[in-house]
Structure 1
Amino acid sequence: MAIDVTVLRVFTDRDGRFGNPLGVVDASTVQAADRQRIATELGFSETVFITLPREGTHSASAHIHTPTTQLPFAGHPTVGASWWLKDRGLPIKTLQVPAGIVQVTYTGDLTAVSARADWAPDFSINHVASLDDLAAADPDDYADDEAEHYLWTWLDEAADTIRSRMFAPHLGIREDEATGAAAVRITEHLSRDLTIVQGQGSVIETKWSPEGWVQIAGRVVDDGQRQID
């Protein structure tokens, strides 16, 4: 039987452009053993499988897969899953992922999740000198490396705005358009709230807490349905 997949773009700009594609699947429609196969066939940087909230509750759970592996936490799938549930009339306050319990809030057109900074992978964070150097970076130079590489530079330091790119070929992600977990790490690294413009122009808003929590927020667009066997 065909599996319905909603395709979202998470962390778009204000005009609904750019954003990182995400596959969203109702977990009740697939066997757990099939999740990795489906994520691999879809080929998105992540696919999220969501267990819907029980009646009368505001908490759901989710499992996140890249094309090659399951992740304990990732940013754009948790933001996307939270938005998808609200769009179905099931807004939540918490989302359980393998790493822990994510706090969820909705403000205007922004969906936000708060996560522990140490849930995110230890990205190799590289500050490059200029926007030209950032644009010139070649993902293929990182193809033999087992690390996730996050490159960034200031777009407007006074306005707390950075420009970034992320490469993780070993996870099946040559270049990620918008990386919530990396946004968590760079926000912790710089210890300040940020506006992050990543990839072609995706936008992530973050808030830093000295207690080790980082909130990441963004806009989401629904790009329709796909089916997969």
Structure 2
Amino acid sequence: MKTLNYSLVDVFTTKPFGGNQLAVFQADSTLKPDTMQRIARELNLSESVFIRPPSDPEKEVSLRIFTPQVELPMAGHPTIGAAYVLAHKGMIETKEGKNEWIFEEGVGDVPVTVYKDHAQISKVEMEQPLPVFGDKYIETEIVAKLLSLSIRDLDPTMPIQTVSSGVPFLYVPIRSLSSMKKMNFRTDVWEKHFSGNPHTKHIFTFTTETEEPTSTVHSRMFAPAMGISEDPATGAASGPLGAYLVKYGAIPPTDHKTYFIRSEQGLEMGRPSYIDITIMKEGSEIKEVKIGGKSTMIGSGQIFL
């Protein structure tokens, strides 16, 4: 019998039982993808990540990321959480200050920065592929129905549009925080109108009204196709969210070419999460997208194979 050890981490939070749960496994290259998928389904967290040896010795590690239903080519909270565990446990030497690593993921090389302050891992940040803007979705009545809202709850100043940094999400702007809170996702509408299209099956909703004064945007994400009814923190969607907000002028720049954005998510689920987004822009072009945040170790376990 083989034993796999894992760490349980809450990502995008400083407090236990907040943020997004993540199981981080240290696995060798012999562990097969179907076994990893079964483990992710058994744990039934938003995602589980398997740290493996890199194919390129110049890189730090390779990551395989699974939801209960599918493998993902890239995801934010597993990347951030895996880096936190590697640094926290001393599995990769981490010096005081700034540490720059490269992870291999399904989208290619992902730059990761780990910040260590007085022997503590104070923040982990990842660079994401530049977002690609896809089609706009014009059936506003169907979108409102999907969320159990009226058309008046949707924000007409910005489009409903797909954006992707490796995983496509359909971004739905909402007028107010009160509309976000009364939202009720209808799986029957999703199955009929959204599930068959890879560009519309993951639904990300947001408003620029926030609960916390330090936040920029309030977010909720629904992904039945991943086996996730609602996600408390979605790193892979947060970089494209920042690019969307910048593109459509929803937020002012922090300086002439840099935008610092904080997304609050998971509050309706009782798992407050805070994702920091940095967008670098030159002229009309977005040149760099980063997301980051804090994590906390919450436990550990074993899987017997």
Q: Normalising by the residue count of structure 1, what TM-score does the alignment of the two structures yield? A: 0.90
Distance 2:215 2:299 in 1: 34
CA deviation profile, 1:55-86 (whole Å, cap 9, x unmatched): x9662110111111111011000001111111
Shift of 1:223: 1.1
**TM-superposed deviation, 1:164:** 0.5
Higher radius of gyration, 1 or 2: 2
Output one character per residue of 1:155-212: Cα deviation in whole Å (capped at 9) or x when no partner.
36x9661111000011100000000011011011112321010012200001012344
Q: Give the Cα–Cα distance (whole angstroms) in 2 for the partners of residues 226 and 155 of structure 1.
A: 39
Q: Does 1:208 align with 2:275?
A: no
Partner of 2:203: 149
8 Å Cα contact 2:171/2:203 also seen in 1: yes
Aligned pairs for 1:79-228 (under 5 A) are 79-89=80-90, 90=92, 91=94, 93-107=101-115, 108=117, 109-118=122-131, 119-141=165-187, 143-144=190-191, 145-146=194-195, 147-155=201-209, 161-191=216-246, 192-200=259-267, 201-210=272-281, 211-228=286-303
Q: State how far apart, in whole Å, the 2-side matches of 1:48 and 1:30 are.
A: 15
CA distance in 2, matches of 1:74, 1:150: 15
1:21 matched to 2:21: yes
Task: Please say if 1:71 is aligned against 2:72.
Answer: yes
Aligned length in residues: 227
Q: Indicate conservation of the 8 Å contact 2:40/2:48, yes or no.
A: yes
Q: Is the 8 A contact 1:3 1:30 kept in 2?
A: no
CA distance in 2, matches of 1:171, 1:140: 16
Cα pair 1:24 1:50 within 8 Å, conserved: yes
1:117 alignment partner, SS class: coil
Give the TM-score taking structure 2 as reference length. 0.68
Task: Give the Cα–Cα distance (whole angstroms) in 2 for the partners of residues 20 and 212 of structure 1.
Answer: 28
Structure possessing the higher relative contact order (Cα contacts under 8 Å, 6 or more residues apart): 1
Mapped partners of 1:226, 1:17: distance in 2: 17
Contact 2:215 2:264 in 1 (8 A): no
Mark the CA change 1:4 to 1:143 in structure 2 (over 3 Å): closer, same or farther: farther
**What percentage of aligned pairs have identical amino acids?**
31
Q: Which runs of no fewer than 5 residues in structure 1 stay unpaired?
A: none
Judge conservation of contact 2:107–2:166 (CA < 8 Å) in 1: no
> Deviation digits for residues 17-75 of structure 1, max 9, x if unmatched?
51100111112186123111111111111110002579x96621101111111110110
Measured in 2, the distance between the counterparts of 1:110 and 1:182 equals 19
